[in-house]
Amino acid sequence: MTPSPLSWLPLPCSPDRAEDELASGSDDQALDPVLPAALHRGSDAGEAAAAWVRELAGRQCEEEHARALGRVAEAITWASSREIIPGSEGLLAEELRYTLAADVVLGASHTTGTLPELHAGERAALVTACALAAALPSCVLGDLERELTVLAEVACAAEAGRLATAAGDARALPVPRQRTLGQEHGDPLDCLAYRRVAESAAAAFAAALHYQGGRDEEACA
């Protein structure tokens, strides 16, 4: 994935710009107290998703992959806050749209020759989070409050990604070798328990033979 030229953008922040635009818009919009809350909800959801992507970036051994994912986190934060401008055309900046494309899962593979270190399930969550973030600015063209609520599920995508991360980390742990009950050099208590289990099994078998009328001493042994 070619690095996106986001370096010229200021650091993302809360959707104050969107609220300013809202206040300077039509009287109906300015009097609606629900919209600022929706704007902040979208911004918070985007920041939650970006925080997870930054965790993915911090896990990368390849610096190029780390930087690529860092740009993705920045783009998610920006798209979910400063790009949501009521009264605008609802178009996402080209640089952000490129950064949030599906090939985000390839990281900087064109220069490193490797893929980012992502667990199974993280890729799908990453693409979903990016797609939802990229769609956030367009909600100003419709029912902004309702559509922002739906698109704020970018945070849910990040939570699914965290679950995939936890599952992947667990799978990577070494599997401890289970001790065999009664093993030769095991715990003495294990040996006692093993003998007790063997004695109980032999007694049960002998009782079964008795009630069946059996007299097979070899089978009992």
In this prediction, residue 210 carries a pLDDT of 74
**3-class state of residue 14 by DSSP:** coil
Question: Which regions in the chain score pLDDT beneath 50?
Answer: 2-14, 21-31
Domain boundaries, the chain: 16-172, 188-220
For the chain, how far is it from start to end, CA to CA, in angstroms? 71
Nearest to 197 by CA among 211, 181, 208: 181
In this prediction, residue 173 carries a pLDDT of 83
In this prediction, residue 35 carries a pLDDT of 82
In this prediction, residue 67 carries a pLDDT of 96
Placement of tokens 């806050």 in the chain: 81
Please, what sign has the CA dihedral across residues 41, 47, 48, 49? positive
Helices (H), 26-104: 27-30, 34-58, 63-79, 94-99
In this prediction, residue 176 carries a pLDDT of 65
Nearest to 92 by CA among 6, 30, 3: 6
In this prediction, residue 142 carries a pLDDT of 85
